[in-house]
Structures are given as structure tokens and as C-alpha cells.
Amino acid sequence: MSSHGIDITGIGALSGYGWGASALWDGLSTGKAAATLHHDLTRPGQNPVWLAKVPDGGDRSDGTSRFGRALRGAAREAVEDAIARGWQPGRRVGLVHAVVLGEVDEWRNFYLRDGGERRVRDYLTLMPSTPVSLLMQEYGFHGPAMNVSAMCASGNAGLLTAKMWLDTGFVDDVVFVATDLSLTPENIDHFVKLGVGVVDVEPQEGCRPFQEGSRGFGMGEAATAFVLSTRSSASYARVLGGSMTHDAFHATSIDPALTQVRACFEQALVDADVTAQQVRYLNAHGPGTAQCDAAETTMLETVLDSHAQVYSVKPLTGHCQGAASAIETISAVMGFERGLVPAAPQVSDAHPLLLDGFTAAEPGLTVKSSLGMGGHNSVVVLAPA
């Protein structure tokens, strides 16, 4: 295996399955979706709906914000995990936070419940800098800290940003966090109106990536964290390389020519210094929409030359928006250590290269693709440690 890349040496995760990376893995291993039925009695005729929401929890001293508690909870788990595996923070530890819709619950409360009036200290909790600042203060990290956003591709974008920082010696280590707790009734409604969100049936009935009868994706939330370093003695995986491109075509649709999607896949392999023949698995964006399934199927059959098998985690975790590719990456990474590929079970006629449920892993690399709304294409190449 190539020595090229950076190490993932600590992980943390919150999902619809609960708090902690072990809860995520245990949930995935059941083959059952994390979503449960939710009722909103203020919206008659529009509920119940199936949602994979992060349950309440975390450290109450982190404040009342679900978002802030989730961000810091996932990051703490990753940092503590890395330290337990022998990592010692360097002098310059940076923070990259992937986010699309940030403090949604509290902004909603600010306008609808509080009438736009709050004490200054409570208003500051709405600022995107606040949870990041509090996390940096907690650990005394002094490297650069910033938010990145590339819609559903934000997780891959953040991971590649962290890798660039490490490759150039800009930092010694990076804590990378992706947070999305945005399932307010208004956001859910608009994804349904867009024709992609499916909340009226159990997720595996509506979301069937690379299978017959798929209607779109179920809605999920997540917070996922990684400690990334070039100085690890016990890593879960290596990030070998990756790429990002942009379609510059449409606000929601993929360019049917797939020119930039193809370029992204090809450039990622070049950046990682690997060949398509070395790729064993495609951990797909896989939202179960017709255009995404078609685009990734084409990449599987052409760029990867049908050497790899494909799977999607979204039927299980839901589509976690800004944290989607990150929670799907951590699922693959946990699988590396266990010798398993965390694929969702098939429920209908499928592409012949689609995996059917948890599968014993074979030697080779995993390509993680994520195609974000608005034309954000991203691919990351991962290797077991």
C-alpha cells in the first residue's frame, strides 16, 4: 500500500442511531434504518414523518443548542480516541468545520419564538464562530480554524482542505468536524417539494440507490469528527488524495454530459497516485435519486471500469446534508478496522455491482464520492491503515 497520504487517527460520530461512533456502527450492522416516526402537532395533515434525527444528549454545560453540543460532542470523542491511540497534539492544531445550514433550531427560535430579541450572550450562540471558538479554547488549539461549505459535498471538501493544510506543513494536525442538525419542518417540507426528500414511508422503502423503485432519500442528521495527522502511530485509515470540480450548470441538476463529474473521479485517482484497478469499493453519494444514481453508475462502469463494487449508506443513516459524506466516510473507516463493508441491504432488483448488506472486505481501496447540490463534485480516495 502506498505511503502517500495522511492518517485518520481518531474518530467521533453522532447519528440517528445515537451518540458515539459505536452506536453508529451497531446501528449500521442491524441493516435497519436509523429513522423513527416524528409528530409535529402544530402542523396537522403533514405528519408523522420518518426522520433520522440525532437524539437529545451531550454535555449540558455546552449550552442549550443541539447543534453546538453535537459539534463539540463529536469532536471530543475523536480527540479522546486519538489520544488513547497514542496521538499527541502538535504545536499547530487546526480545525476545519464542514457545515451547510448551521444553527437552524436556534435561528428559528430567535425569529419565531423570541421575536428577534435576546441577551447579547445568548445571541452570540447563533454565530458560526462561537462553537468553533469554544472547542479551540477547550483544548488550547492555536492553528487556523474555519468553516467550509460545499452543500452535500462539504464533508469531502473539509477532508481535502485538512489534507492540503497537512501536505503543505501549514499545521501539524487537524481536527475535522462536519455537523448538520437541520431537520426543521420548513427544511423537510422544501426537500419534499423539490421531489428528492421522502419522509412518508420507511427509508428503505423510498430510498433504494442503484435499485428499482427508488424515489429519493430519507432525511437524516449527523455530527462526525476525525483527527488527522502525518504523525500517527495507530491510524484507522489513510486519505490518499482526492479532487473537487464544479459543473457550473444548474442550481439542482447534474450536467448530463458528466464532464466535470468524470474529471473529478479521474483527477482524484491521479492525485492519490493510484489506478482504477486498485479500487475495490465505491462508497457512493447514493441518494437514490435518478440523476445521481445514473451519474455514479456511469463512473463505476467507465472510470472504474466495473472493477469496483458499489454501496450507499444513505438508506440507513438518511441523507445528512452537510455531514453526509463525512458520516459515510466514517462508516467505511470503521469497516476497515473490522474487515467489513457497511453496505445497506438490497430491497429490490439492483445493479449487479451493488453490495447486499454487510460484506467481508476484500483487499483494495475505497473511493468516496459526493455530488452536492448546485454542481459540487467531490471524490476522496481511502486506504485501510
The model's pLDDT over 174-215, given as tens digits with 9 standing for 90+, comes to 999 999 999 999 999 999 999 999 999 999 999 999 999 999
Q: How far is residue 13 from each of residues 19, 115, 199, 226, measured CA to CA in Å?
A: 7, 34, 23, 9
* pLDDT (average), residues 203-231: 97
Measured CA to CA, the distance from residue 385 to residue 375 in angstroms comes to 32
Residue 60's identity, in one-letter code, is: R
Q: How confident is the model at residue 254 (pLDDT cuts 50, 70, 90)?
A: very high
Mean local confidence (pLDDT), 308-333: 98
In this structure, what is the dihedral angle of CA atoms 16, 19, 25, 30, given to the nearest 10 degrees? -50
- pLDDT for the residue 1: 30
Mean pLDDT of 337-343: 97
Confidence check: pLDDT of 373 > 80: yes
Provide the pLDDT for residue 2: 36
Lowest mean pLDDT among 70-74, 229-233, 360-364: 229-233
| Burial class of residue 251 (count of CB atoms within 10 Å of its CB; 0-12, 13-18, 19+) | exposed
Question: What is the pLDDT at residue 46?
Answer: 72
CB 71 within 8 A of CB 19: no
217 pLDDT higher than 90? yes
Coil, helix or strand at residue 127: coil
Mean pLDDT of the chain, nearest integer? 95
Write down the pLDDT at residue 265: 98
Share of the chain above pLDDT 90, in %: 94
- Do the beta carbons of residue 90 and residue 140 sit within 8 Å? no
Mean pLDDT over residues 137-146, rounded?
97
Q: Give the 3-state secondary structure of residue 3.
A: coil
Compute the average pLDDT of residues 111-126: 92
Question: Nearest-CA neighbor of 175 among 214, 141, 204?
Answer: 141
Exposed/middle/buried for residue 128 (C-beta within 10 Å: 0-12, 13-18, 19+): middle
Across the range 329-335, mean pLDDT stands at 98
If pLDDT is split at 50, 70 and 90, which confidence band does 3 have? very low
